[in-house]
């Protein structure tokens, strides 16, 4: 097998997806974004399953990976719509934290070039827990960083889907050839005996 086979390419692509998902998982943990954390966790598990299926010649595992990539693309399209506020969605809601906290994207306060200033809450009956943060000077707004992350995930998933379909077809073709050879061998043994 050459190094540029579909199987080798899918292995490299799964490794790249794992790195990308782990990077995204870290920043979602820093921002307490529980819905993306759960999604990233499932994605990491399924990508490992797809990687295992590719290495061990298990087409069923690759089928699970293929189905998951379609769901993963859908999830990332939702995240893009969420951060770009398409269709009535608002990035200022607590949807990504399952409405259990007021945390937002980590990139909101820590994006490239952002200057973060903590402001004390006003005395007009505000809760003592909350600290207000003023962020200025960001080179790229946080919602565009989140959109870029999702776009990269979509790109990797679409390429992974194509390679996974190709590898499944190759594995099934090899399995059919092996099965056919086995039947011919058995038939030959019956004729010879």
131-190 pLDDT, tens digit per residue, is 566 677 788 888 898 899 999 999 999 999 999 999 998 888 876 665 555 555 555 565
| pTM of the predicted protein model | 0.78
* Residue range 91-110, pLDDT digits in tens: 767 667 666 666 677 767 77
Query: 């194509």: which residue's tokens?
Result: 162
With CA atoms as reference, report the closest residue to 104 among 41, 19, 36.
36
With CA atoms as reference, report the closest residue to 49 among 36, 25, 41, 37.
41
With CA atoms as reference, report the closest residue to 162 among 72, 77, 74, 66.
66
Q: What is the pLDDT of residue 123?
A: 57
Q: What is the pLDDT of residue 31?
A: 79
């Amino acid at each position: 097998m050459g190094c540029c086979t579909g199987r080798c390419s899918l292995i490299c692509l799964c490794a790249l997806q794992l790195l990308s998902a782990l990077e995204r998982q870290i920043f979602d943990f820093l921002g307490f974004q529980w819905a993306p954390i759960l999604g990233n966790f499932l994605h990491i598990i399924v990508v490992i399953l797809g990687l295992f299926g590719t290495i061990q010649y298990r087409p069923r595992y690759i089928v699970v990976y293929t189905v998951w990539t379609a769901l993963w693309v859908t999830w990332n399209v939702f995240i893009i719509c969420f951060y770009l506020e398409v269709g009535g969605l608002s990035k200022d809601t607590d949807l990504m934290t399952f409405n259990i906290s007021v945390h937002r994207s980590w990139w909101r306060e820590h994006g490239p070039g952002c200057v973060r200033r903590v402001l004390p809450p006003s005395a007009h009956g505000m809760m003592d827990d909350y600290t207000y943060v003023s962020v200025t000077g960001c080179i790229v707004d946080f919602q565009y960083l989140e959109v870029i992350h999702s776009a990269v995930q979509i790109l990797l998933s679409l390429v992974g889907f194509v390679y996974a379909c190709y590898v499944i077809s190759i594995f099934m073709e090899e399995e059919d050839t092996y099965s056919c050879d086995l039947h011919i061998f058995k038939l030959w043994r019956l004729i010879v005996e």
